[in-house]
Structures are given as structure tokens and as C-alpha cells.
Structure 1
Amino acid sequence: MRPEDSAGAAEPGEPVLLLTDDAPPRASEEPAAAETEGAPGRGRCCLCPSSPCGSRAEPAKKKAPCPGLGLLYTLLSTFFFSLTSLFVKKVQDVHAVEISAFRCVFQMLVIIPCLIYRKTGFIGPKDQRIFLILRGVVGSTAMILIYYAFQRMPLADATVITFSSPVFTSIFAWIFLKEKCSPWDALFIVFSMTGVILIVKPPFLFGSSSSGTEESYSVHLKGTFAAIGHAVFSGLTLVILRKLGKSVDYFLSIWYYVIIGLLESIIVLFILGEWSLPYCGLDRLYLILIGGFGLGGQVFLTKGLQIEKAGPVAIMRTMDVVFAFTFQIIIFNDVPSWWTVGGAICLVASSTGAAIHRWYQSSK
């Protein structure tokens, strides 16, 4: 089966990525068979074999992906994920695992009709099921960890810690995908990590008085480990999605994410005994918004990874830090320090440089 066939019905103008450089079997076998049997070739019909005929016109060629389109999809997914983080932070008296379960249920109700409409099935290609299962387990674990971190730490601190994920993404992509890390990619990663350090202001570099942590040390430490765990699993998720590429429909990838995430959340909630319905109507609205924006973020992120390398996508997602601090100023009335501003500038420079470099490479 050709990669574009297994990816499901493509919408008009949707970029198509072939997973290999080889021509599809049918494209290479038809001309040979025509020559052997004396049948008219491509562009000719049986009534006029000596001249081209309009009755069998050349099929329209697929348009190449627009340079930077994958990074644009990633930027949109980052904005939606930032809104999701904001609403998770504002939810009261609901455990992080339960929030994850509500989000999975909401997304499942949306994904099922999409899968039925696109006729992709609910299982996927046999040779890709193991990667789909891994994507579900790793992705849902990352979601639970970051929600827990948001509830235990300030929104901006938790966000910036998770954006050490480009380092893990580059390592996993180098190990599993054999992707080369160019000097420019390394430079953008250095800029990104410098921005994270300036924003987090670790005590061993800036002193204990600069951390500004109000929570107890044990609670803050739990949130920090959860955020770092999310960074590791998020980096691995990006590599798995890149490995899947166009071999499966992106809605099918999200389906595995939500169904496995729901099962995982139910098991954890059963063990912890933390299940409880939200009492406040505003919290219920936040849960709906978390599901909606989370779904939008997943769709755009998956589509971005289908046409872009894992490393640049991970770097572009550091824009989430800028959105997080913007929400912190506007919603929580917490003005960042000049160190934070410097870190944000580094992160924006890193993301912008990656986009320009990708556009330049594609235009060659």
C-alpha cells in the first residue's frame, strides 16, 4: 500500500509526505506492462494509440509541502496547549489525573466521528500498531505529569522546565531515527536551553533568594520532577510521531493517545481513590475548554510532525514559554523579572532562527 493511501483521505491542499524516495509500485509497473502487451501508454487511449488523447489526461501531481508549514502547524498547536495549561492551572479541587481523564473523554467523543467519516478504522496498519501503542502510553503519561506539575508549581516555572525536551528529542532522534544534528540545530538548542536557565533561575547559579518559590520544598520538588519527566516523555513522543509520519492518519494517532490515556487515568484514579466530580460550574467549563484546546493542539502538532523533522518542531514548541509568561502577567498579575525577559528573548530568537533556517533549506 502506498503511503498516501494509508494516510487516509487527504483534504484539498493538504501536503503529502512520501516516507520513501522510491516510486509507488503501480506507478512503475503500469508502463512496463503496457509496453509488453502493446497496450497504449499513459496519455493515450485505445482509439488513437498514435497520438495523445484528452480522454486519459495526466493525473495532477501532488503539491510539495509549503516551506515552513510544519512549523506554522506547530506554532498553532503551541498556542492551544498554552491555553490548555492556563485552564488546568485555574481548575480547583480536581486531581491532575482526573483532568486528564476528562480531556480524554471529550477528545474521544470528537475523534470517533472523525475516524468513521475518514474510514480509517480504529486499529491502524499492522506494522505500525506497536508505534501507535507506544505513542499512546508515552503521550498520555506526559500529559498526566505536566498537569500534576501545573498544580504543584507556578505556571511559568512548570512550563519552562518542560522545555528542556528539545535536548531529549535530539538524543532520541539521533538514536532511533538516525537524524543528523547540524551545527545550526545545535546552536538553536543552546539558545533554547539558555533561555530556560534564565527563566528558571536555578538556585545553584542565582542563589536561593532568586527562586521566589512560595510552596514548600517537598511540594515544589515533586512538581519539578514531574515537569522533567514530562520533558523526557514529550521528547520521546515527538520522535515516535515522526517515525509514524504519513503511514497512519493523524486522527488515528490521536485516537490511540486518548483511549490509552483514558485507561491509564482510570487505573491511576482507582489506585489513588481521587475520583470526584467538580462542584463548581466554572470548573466544568474549564474541563470542556481543556478538552477542546487539547484536541486542537494534538491535531496541529501531529500534522506538523508529518512534514517536519522532530528537532525543529521541538524547538518551535518553546514558544509555549512566551505564551505562559504572557498569561502569567495578564491573568495572574505576576510581572516577570529582567532575567525572565532575557530568557524569553533567547527562546524567541531560537524559534525564529529555526524557522528561517528551515525555510532556507527548503528553498534550495
Structure 2
Amino acid sequence: MNPTKGILFKVCALFLFAIMASLIKAASENVPPWQAVFFRAFFAMPIILLWLAQRGDLRTGLRVTNAWGHFWRGVIGTTAMAFGFAGLGLLPFPEVTAIGFASPFFTLIFAAILLGERFRVFRIGAVVVGLIGVAIILYPRITVFGDGGAASLALLGAIFTLTSAAFRSLAQIHIRRLVQTDQTAAIVFYFSLTSTVLALLTIPLGWVMPTRTEFMSLIGAGLVGGVAQILLTTGYRYSEASTLAPFDYTSMIFAVLIGYFVFSEIPTSNTIWGSAIIIAAGITIIWRERQLGLKRGKARPSVTPQG
């Protein structure tokens, strides 16, 4: 274990994911989100395959024992990606990032419903506080409902982004199940493969011929996304998930900087205050879960083999 190295990989991955999202956003005015999903998934696969070959895991890393699990993870993850890309085209970059922070709260709710995990009072309180933060961000969009024009499109973007966060949470639930039987490399690769195939099925919905700039942006998004996924996976080899989790929120810094310098977007006061509340609630949950994990770790040596 090398926590410093793990943190470095994680932050670099988040920076590249922010770059990837900005490239998708740059092409979103003309290119539909389902077409962007194809570029993101297809052009990430060569990067992932080269990584597996370099590690010597090309043969063993792609074996699966739960094919249907990979399929449904791909369907749910692709849906999340499409809604997320749609939101990027309709909302400022920092706002999309902030709403996306709702995903961990949805994960806790779905874990309690689908996996039977205990939903402690502490968790419930933190989730409620986090969702209040989301509501603060969404409030300006909801209050202009029915005004038409750009306001209605922004509300639609907020709905798309929140839907994406919910589907990302469901994908995390499926990943928790998949990691019990299959390697991370297989999960990453087959997600990209499934997303590519599903995206191709959307051709009848209307694809467009991208301009040269848009074409390069979309290819770049796929390549950068593939590298980011590798860095993220590598980070977890050097450090525990609980140590790396708080650094997810550095993506807000990257979103604000990119939004300001690339898209001339300035976060609203609602976005700032809502993000602060969401981040505080999220870090509180991470801290609490880490404390419980340490307690379980101390208690484990005294437990008999029979439990």
C-alpha cells in the first residue's frame, strides 16, 4: 500500500475525467448524447486492451463468470452516461458536476433496498442533508418551470443530470456484485464493449456528421476517458477506497476552472452553497463508514472461526 501514490492516481484520473466531460460538452451543441456515448466507449477500448496486454492480463483479465451481470451493468451504465452527456449540453459544467455528487446518496438508498444493507440513523441524516444540498442547486431551475425557452431546457438538463446520478448509483450496486466473481479489468472492458454496441443501436434515433473539430473532440474524449479509467483503477491498487473517496470532490475544482476558462461559466450562489452542503454530508458519511470499518477490523481477530 502507498496512499500518497493512490491519491495521486485518483486526482489525476478525476482531472482527466473532467477533461473528457469538457470535450463531450464542446461537441454537444450538434452531436446527440447517444452518439457521444459511442465515441466515449469505442475509443476507450484500445487503451484498455493495451493496458491489459502490458500487464499480461489480456487473457485472464477478460474471463467472466457472470455474463448477464456484465450485460446489465453495461445497460445501466450506458443509460447513466447518455443522460449525463445530455445534461452537459444543457447546463453549466460546475452545476452538472455538483448535481452528480448526489450519486453516493442514491447508492446508499439502493444498497439498503437491493442488497439489504443496514440503513443506520447516521446514514439517513447524512443522506437527507445531502439531498437538501441537491434541492438548493435545483431550486432556481424548478422555479422557472413553464417559462419556456432556455429556462425549460435548463430544467430538463437538471432532470437528465439527476437521472444520470441515480443510474450511476445502480451501476455501483451491480459492480459490488460483479467484483465478487470477476476481475476489475473485465468489468471495465465489457462495460466499454456493451456501451459501444448499445450506442450503435441508437443510429435510427438520428446520428449526425460531426465537424472536424467535433470529431477530434469526441475521439479525444474516448481516449482520455480510457486513460482516466486506468489511472482510477491503478489508484485503488495502492490505497483503500475509504482513503481515496474524499478526493472525489476535487472534481468540483476542476469543473469550476474548466467552466470558467473554457466555457465562460461562473457557478451561481445556489451551486456553491448546495455543493458545500453535499460535500460536507458526503465526507461525513465517508468518515463514519471508515470509523465503523476500523471498529470491525479490531473486533475481527477475537471472533471465532464459526463467527
The reply to whether TM is greater than 0.5 is: yes
Distance 2:115 2:59 in 1: 26
1:86 aligns with 2:22: yes
Shift of the alpha carbon at 1:76? Answer: 5.3
Conserved? CA contact 1:160–1:200, under 8 Å:
no
Q: Percent identity?
A: 22
Report the counterpart of residue 341 of structure 1 in structure 2. Answer: 272
Report the counterpart of residue 206 of structure 2 in structure 1. Answer: 273
Distance 2:228 2:78 in 1: 14
1:107 aligns with 2:44: yes
Conserved? CA contact 2:106–2:169, under 8 Å:
yes
Conserved? CA contact 1:250–1:303, under 8 Å:
no
Distance 2:235 2:175 in 1: 10
Conserved? CA contact 2:9–2:232, under 8 Å:
yes
Which amino acid in the other structure matches residue 338 of structure 1?
S
Report the counterpart of residue 97 of structure 1 in structure 2. Answer: 34
Which amino acid in the other structure matches residue 195 of structure 1?
G
Report the counterpart of residue 134 of structure 1 in structure 2. Answer: 72
Distance 2:138 2:83 in 1: 18
Report the counterpart of residue 84 of structure 2 in structure 1. Answer: 146
3-state SS in 1 of match to 2:267: coil
Structure with the higher helix share, 1 or 2: 2
3-state SS in 2 of match to 1:263: helix
User: Gaps spanning 5+ residues in structure 2: where?
Assistant: 296-307
Distance 1:302 1:354 in 2: 22
Distance 2:147 2:254 in 1: 20
1:215 aligns with 2:150: yes
Conserved? CA contact 2:105–2:130, under 8 Å:
no
Shift of the alpha carbon at 1:150? Answer: 1.1
1:124 aligns with 2:63: yes
Shift of the alpha carbon at 1:118? Answer: 0.5
* Alpha-carbon spacing, 1:302–1:178, altered in 2? closer, same or farther (3 Å): farther
Q: Which of 94, 97, 121 is the aligned partner of 1:183?
A: 121
User: Gaps spanning 5+ residues in structure 1: where?
Assistant: 1-12, 15-65
Shift of the alpha carbon at 1:94? Answer: 2.4
Conserved? CA contact 2:12–2:228, under 8 Å:
yes
* Alpha-carbon spacing, 1:339–1:93, altered in 2? closer, same or farther (3 Å): closer
Which amino acid in the other structure matches residue 133 of structure 1?
F
Report the counterpart of residue 63 of structure 1 in structure 2. Answer: none
Conserved? CA contact 2:39–2:218, under 8 Å:
yes
Work out which of the two has the higher radius of gyration on C-alpha atoms and give 1 or 2.
1
Conserved? CA contact 2:104–2:282, under 8 Å:
no
Which amino acid in the other structure matches residue 234 of structure 1?
R
Report the counterpart of residue 33 of structure 1 in structure 2. Answer: none
Distance 1:98 1:229 in 2: 19
Which amino acid in the other structure matches residue 38 of structure 2?
A
* Alpha-carbon spacing, 1:224–1:139, altered in 2? closer, same or farther (3 Å): same
TM-score by length of 1: 0.66
* Alpha-carbon spacing, 1:227–1:141, altered in 2? closer, same or farther (3 Å): same
* Alpha-carbon spacing, 1:87–1:160, altered in 2? closer, same or farther (3 Å): same
Distance 1:171 1:87 in 2: 32
Distance 2:272 2:159 in 1: 25
- 1:228-276 per-residue CA deviation (whole Å, 9 max, x = no partner) reads 331221110011111122532212111111111111111102x123142
Conserved? CA contact 2:47–2:227, under 8 Å:
no
Aligned length: 289
* Alpha-carbon spacing, 1:236–1:299, altered in 2? closer, same or farther (3 Å): farther
1:264 aligns with 2:179: no
Coordinate RMSD, CA, aligned: 3.6
TM-score by length of 2: 0.77
